Amino acid sequence: MEFNTISVIGLGYIGLPTAAVIASRRKKVVGVDVNQHAVDTINKGEIHIVEPELDMIVHAAVKEGHLRATTSPEPADAFLIAVPTPFKAEGGNDHVPDLSYIEAASKAIAPVLNKGNLVILESTSPVGATERVAEVLAEARPDLTFPQSHGEDSDIRIAHCPERVLPGHVIRELVENDRVIGGMTERCSKAATALYKIFVEGECITTTARTAEMAKLTENSFRDVNIAFANELSIICDKLDINVWELIRLSNRHPRVNILQPGPGVGGHCIAVDPWFIVSETPDEARLIRAAREVNDGKPQWVIDKVNEAVGKFLSANPEKTAKEVSIACFGLAFKPDIDDLRESPALAITQKIAASNPGQTLIVEPNIEALPAGKLEGCTLVTADDALESADVVVLLVDHKPFKSIDPQQLEGCYLIDSRGIWAA
Ligand code: SAJ
């Protein structure tokens, strides 16, 4: 199958890098996004998101005429859907996935579909979402045939191929990672494999669409469950007066044990979200997966309780001081080390809660940002590590950024420490 023009629907954290990498292989790529600002930015050869190396690749692809962005879909040989799958707002705490973006993208490409086209769903999706795409397309285009009714002979081929790239390493992982490709039929899988072979150096392994959907959810749930185990251990060890970091190091000496690291909770846009896609479909069966989510979601409050406990201890040891005179320093706001991404960050949520309840000064150290996010941390001050350690009474380590690891332990002496990452307390 030949792909001369490839259309990527959704130019966000996955769609834009994918579009740019395909364009860098000298294919004509048309990116589609409902966000006019994103479209205009990309057409100028610039980017609206943060990801190392992406700016250079987009700039070159646009300048050489291989990549162009638009707000309305155009005919192409293949369509790659990479739009978000958030939770439904009205679902409250039920964490029900909202397929409306996927449905809207499917409706948008339906009018420009032609016989022989390939449609790939890349968005992380609950099991059955690819079949839903096929249904929406078939409803809109009764003149074409689809795999659910015509199997291998269908006019349109449809597959699910989840992305698995690690934010911060997207460009390398897009090329190097193996891909799981789940076609609705074998021909669909073959067509999708041919498309990914344009830029993927890893292996392309084919399966069914449902298995591919579940594979992505399983990968992130695996990690979530294992982080929950580490987080639960940290709470148990705190009660039993055992150093959890040492405990994990020792246990990991066993040849078949590999425990992950406890932290202040699980952030990011994937690991804290995807397991719910399994839970919402099979609530009675997904008991461990749900419990892991609850353990990880409960960890930020546990850290806040520890900070309050430390403030109490400080005040009892310094009876001349009032709560207003306690200075708390929070180290790290990002959702993981050495990035500037504050979205879905437990460190940010913890800091916000501390700042809201602390009548004294709240200092923030985050070497990866230039200014505090607007309107989110009223009354807090962004300072250097040295300044914070000079005046803080209570120090909370929330993210294990590299520069924090080299802080001289002497500087920490005299502070009440809560080290949620174990870089100082290890
Ligand atoms: N974390 C811990 N302890 C650990 C490891 C991680 O507390 O031992 C925390 C991190 O601090 C962070 C969160 O977990 O808050 C998630 O970070 P991460 O680096 O593990 O993963 P993400 O969310 O950046 O990217 C994940 C990756 N999935 C897996 O590693 C299974 C990535 O490959 C996926 O493509 C991505 O989710 C996604 O898009 O689904």
Residues 14-58 have pLDDT tens digits of 999 999 999 999 999 999 999 999 999 999 999 998 888 999 999
236 and 194 co-located in one domain = no
Mean pLDDT of 215-240: 98
- 67 found inside a domain: yes
Catalytic residues: 216, 270
Give pLDDT, residue 134: 98
Residues 229-265 have pLDDT tens digits of 999 999 999 999 999 999 999 999 999 999 999 999 9
39 and 173 co-located in one domain = yes
277 and 375 co-located in one domain = yes
Quote the ligand 1 centre to 224 CA distance (angstroms). Answer: 8
Full residue range of the structural domain in which residue 148 is found: 5-202
28 and 63 co-located in one domain = yes
Q: Amino acid identity, residue 232?
A: E
- 217 found inside a domain: no
How far apart are the C-alpha atoms of 425 and 403, rounded to whole Å?
Answer: 16
- 364 found inside a domain: yes
Quote the ligand 1 centre to 124 CA distance (angstroms). Answer: 14
275 and 153 co-located in one domain = no
Give pLDDT, residue 185: 98
Give pLDDT, residue 93: 66
Please state the pTM of the whole predicted model.
Answer: 0.94
The larger pLDDT score, comparing residue 1 to residue 120, is at 120
- 385 found inside a domain: yes
Q: What percent of the chain has pLDDT over 70?
A: 99
How far apart are the C-alpha atoms of 53 and 332, rounded to whole Å?
Answer: 24
How far lies 185's CA from each of 118, 150, 316, 425, in Å? 12, 10, 69, 53
276 and 397 co-located in one domain = yes
Residue 375 CB: number of other CB atoms within 10 A? 6
- Can you spell out the DSSP letters for 359-418? SSEEEEE-TT-SSPPTTTSTT-EE--HHHHHHH-SEEEE----HHHHTS-HHHHTTSEEE
- 173 found inside a domain: yes
CATH number, domain containing residue 46: 3.40.50.720
Written as six digits, the tokens of 50 are 């943060």
- 21 found inside a domain: yes
How far apart are the C-alpha atoms of 375 and 144, rounded to whole Å?
Answer: 51
**Backbone angles phi and psi of 63, in degrees to 5:** -65, -40
Residues 370-426 have pLDDT tens digits of 999 999 999 999 999 999 999 999 999 999 999 999 999 899 999 999 999 999 977
Residue 289 CB: number of other CB atoms within 10 A? 22
- 207 found inside a domain: no
Residues 77-98 have pLDDT tens digits of 999 999 999 999 875 667 999 9
118 and 246 co-located in one domain = no
Contacts of residue 336, defined as CB under 8 A and 6 or more positions apart, other chains included, come to 267, 268, 399
How far lies 314's CA from each of 60, 311, 422, in Å? 56, 5, 21
37 and 132 co-located in one domain = yes
How far apart are the C-alpha atoms of 209 and 128, rounded to whole Å?
Answer: 8
256 and 404 co-located in one domain = yes
Domain count for the chain:
2
237 and 125 co-located in one domain = no
Asked if 61 and 24 count as a contact pair (C-beta separation under 8 A), the reply is: yes
- 384 found inside a domain: yes
Quote the ligand 1 centre to 152 CA distance (angstroms). Answer: 37
209 burial type by CB count under 10 A (0-12 exposed, 13-18 middle, 19+ buried): buried
244 and 126 co-located in one domain = no
Mutating to test ligand 1, I would choose from 13, 51, 166 the residue with most ligand atoms within 8 A of its C-beta, which is 166
Quote the ligand 1 centre to 271 CA distance (angstroms). Answer: 6
Asked if 76 and 59 count as a contact pair (C-beta separation under 8 A), the reply is: no
pLDDT at 145 over 70: yes
121 and 233 co-located in one domain = no
Mutating to test ligand 1, I would choose from 177, 251, 266, 343 the residue with most ligand atoms within 8 A of its C-beta, which is 266
Nearest CA to ligand 1 atom 14: 266
How far lies 227's CA from each of 84, 121, 165, 421, in Å? 24, 28, 19, 12
Provide Rg for the chain, Cα atoms. 24
pLDDT at 1 over 80: no
Give pLDDT, residue 92: 63
* Ligand 1-lining residues (CB < 6 angstroms): 124, 163-167, 219-220, 223, 227, 260-261, 263, 266-268, 270-271, 335-336
Residue 147 CB: number of other CB atoms within 10 A? 25
